[in-house]
């Protein structure tokens, strides 16, 4: 029996942080044992906002190396760079032509990002979710691990596949039933307790786009910087850490981080810190964070010191991904009535 297929990706903008690791990539690592896993670095998505051309390639390699350093195993997973598989751009165009404009105009993330950018907004930013739909649909993914903020995009991918491609273009099989062209993917809601919040505001998510670097710990921050960021993290006036007090989002977040990073279960961590002052807790959290990141940083350095090995992983991933993607793209081209190549 074949395993259900999973696809996910992260943009190569800025270093990955604790939120990306604990909330997403750590789950990908587990999925490798039970699912057929595809993980891409979505560099085409990174240019939907103004980007620095001199850094794109380097950032793409950094992100790929971090996937591997976090435990993505190229023998188990297909790891690849989105722009190196041209079918992503091609399918995105085909899907563009069947996607109603107002489906995109109502995307929450588009509205938020567009507001921040004023008249810099590109067509690509509006089109971002269609490209993401292409990423997913090309691989016949059964499941897509997504956080809350991407659920609307996944819903859009489902609607495009079902209503705009399958319902309109599916050919009839020999039994007279329509044969779906695209598989309709389902969201894989990740286990909870891993929504990492900003260090400077326990009510907003840790984010790459927060202009304050002190709000996040990246996977490549050296120990001194980690310690400093945690020292400056927002606290409150109460003594003792606790989970679930709505008045104390920072305590909840930092205690949760401590539990995850030290490998203790939440009850144990809560008991240990129930009467502890911030002055004692913070160095402990800093220590646990540095310890947890040390092996990731070591493996990262090993991959970066061996560019040939990293390129080989990405080339193998590209070939595997391309083979799968071509088959789906061809199915869509045929269903939409294009003249086959070579006729
Ligand atoms: N939009 C996703 C994010 O910002 C990244 C992404 C692009 C993605 N293509 C994808 C995630 C396909 C899952 C599947 O997190």
Q: What is the mean pLDDT of residues 303-321?
A: 98
- Say how far apart CA 277 and CA 241 lie, in whole Å: 8
pLDDT-based confidence at residue 301 (cuts at 50, 70, 90): very high
State percent of the chain over pLDDT 90: 87
State percent of the chain over pLDDT 70: 99
**pLDDT value of position 177:** 84
22, burial (CB in 10 Å: exposed 0-12, middle 13-18, buried 19+): buried
**pLDDT value of position 79:** 98
Instruction: List % helix, strand, coil for the chain (3-state, nearest 5).
Output: 55, 10, 35
Lowest mean pLDDT among 47-51, 140-144, 170-174, 309-313: 170-174
Q: What is the mean pLDDT of residues 49-77?
A: 97
Active site annotation includes 280: no
* Average pLDDT value over all residues in the chain: 95
- Say how far apart CA 328 and CA 87 lie, in whole Å: 9
What residues form DSSP beta bridges with 146?
Answer: 189
Is pLDDT at 261 greater than 70 in this prediction? yes
Element (H, E) at 37: strand 36-41
**pLDDT value of position 68:** 98
Q: What is the mean pLDDT of residues 243-264?
A: 96
Q: Do 234 and 250 form a contact (C-beta atoms < 8 A)? A: yes
Which DSSP letter does residue 119 get? G
Is pLDDT at 313 greater than 90 in this prediction? yes
* Distance between Cα 199 and ligand 1 center (Å): 24
Name the residue with the closest Cα to ligand 1, atom 13.
Answer: 8
**pLDDT value of position 191:** 63
Mutate to test the pocket of ligand 1, among 77, 132, 183 (most ligand atoms within 8 A of CB): 132
* Distance between Cα 133 and ligand 1 center (Å): 9
Mutate to test the pocket of ligand 1, among 150, 155, 183, 188 (most ligand atoms within 8 A of CB): 150
- Which residue of the set 183, 208, 231, 264 is catalytic? 208
Active site annotation includes 151: no
State pLDDT tens for residues 221-243: 999 999 999 999 999 999 999 99
Any atom of ligand 1 within 6 Å of the Cβ of 7: yes
Any atom of ligand 1 within 6 Å of the Cβ of 43: no
Active site annotation includes 111: no
pLDDT-based confidence at residue 179 (cuts at 50, 70, 90): confident
* Distance between Cα 179 and ligand 1 center (Å): 27
* Distance between Cα 169 and ligand 1 center (Å): 26
Is pLDDT at 193 greater than 60 in this prediction? no
pLDDT-based confidence at residue 172 (cuts at 50, 70, 90): confident
Q: What is the b/e burial string over 45-79, where b = at least 16 CB atoms within 10 angstroms of the residue's CB?
A: bbbbbeeeeeebeebbbbbbbbbbbbbbebeebbb
What residues form DSSP beta bridges with 172?
Answer: 178
Q: How many CB atoms lie within 10 A of CB 185?
A: 23
pLDDT-based confidence at residue 55 (cuts at 50, 70, 90): very high
pLDDT-based confidence at residue 290 (cuts at 50, 70, 90): very high
- Say how far apart CA 343 and CA 323 lie, in whole Å: 22
pLDDT-based confidence at residue 192 (cuts at 50, 70, 90): low
Q: Which atom of ligand 1 is nearest to the CA of 82?
A: 9
Is pLDDT at 343 greater than 80 in this prediction? no
**pLDDT value of position 15:** 85
Any atom of ligand 1 within 6 Å of the Cβ of 8: yes
Is pLDDT at 133 greater than 90 in this prediction? yes
- Say how far apart CA 212 and CA 215 lie, in whole Å: 6
Is pLDDT at 99 greater than 90 in this prediction? yes
Lowest mean pLDDT among 77-86, 106-115, 173-182: 173-182
């Amino acid at each position: 029996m074949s395993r259900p297929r999973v696809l996910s990706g992260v943009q190569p903008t800025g270093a990955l942080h604790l939120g990306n690791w604990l909330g997403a990539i750590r789950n990908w690592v587990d999925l490798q044992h039970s699912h057929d896993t595809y993980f891409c670095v979505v560099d085409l998505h990174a240019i939907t906002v103004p980007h620095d051309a001199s850094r794109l390639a380097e950032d793409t390699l950094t992100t790929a190396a971090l996937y591997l350093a976090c435990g993505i195993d190229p023998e188990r997973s297909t790891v690849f760079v989105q722009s190196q598989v041209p079918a992503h751009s091609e399918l995105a165009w085909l899907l563009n032509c069947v996607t109603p404009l107002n489906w995109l105009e109502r995307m929450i993330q588009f509205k938020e990002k567009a507001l921040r950018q004023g008249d810099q907004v590109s067509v690509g930013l509006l089109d971002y979710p269609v490209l993401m739909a292409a990423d997913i649909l090309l691989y016949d993914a059964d499941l897509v691990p997504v956080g809350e903020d991407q659920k609307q995009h996944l819903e859009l991918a489902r609607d495009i596949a079902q209503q705009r491609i399958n319902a309109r273009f599916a050919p009839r099989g020999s039994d007279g039933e329509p044969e779906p062209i695209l598989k309709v993917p389902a969201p894989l809601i990740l286990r909870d307790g891993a929504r990492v919040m900003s260090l400077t505001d326990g009510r907003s998510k840790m984010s790459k786009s927060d202009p304050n670097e002190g709000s996040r710990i990246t996977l490549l921050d050296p120990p001194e910087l980690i310690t400093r960021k945690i020292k400056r993290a927002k606290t409150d006036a109460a003594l003792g850490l606790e989970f679930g007090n709505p008045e104390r989002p920072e305590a909840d977040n930092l205690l949760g981080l401590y539990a995850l990073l030290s490998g203790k279960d939440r009850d144990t961590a809560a008991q240990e810190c129930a009467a502890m002052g911030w002055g004692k807790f913070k160095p402990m959290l800093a220590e646990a964070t540095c310890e947890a990141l040390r092996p990731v940083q070591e493996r990262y350095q090993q991959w970066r010191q061996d560019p040939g090995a990293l390129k080989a992983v990405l080339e193998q991933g590209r070939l595997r991904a391309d083979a799968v993607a071509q088959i789906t793209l061809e199915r869509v081209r045929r269903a939409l009535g294009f003249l086959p190549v070579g006729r």
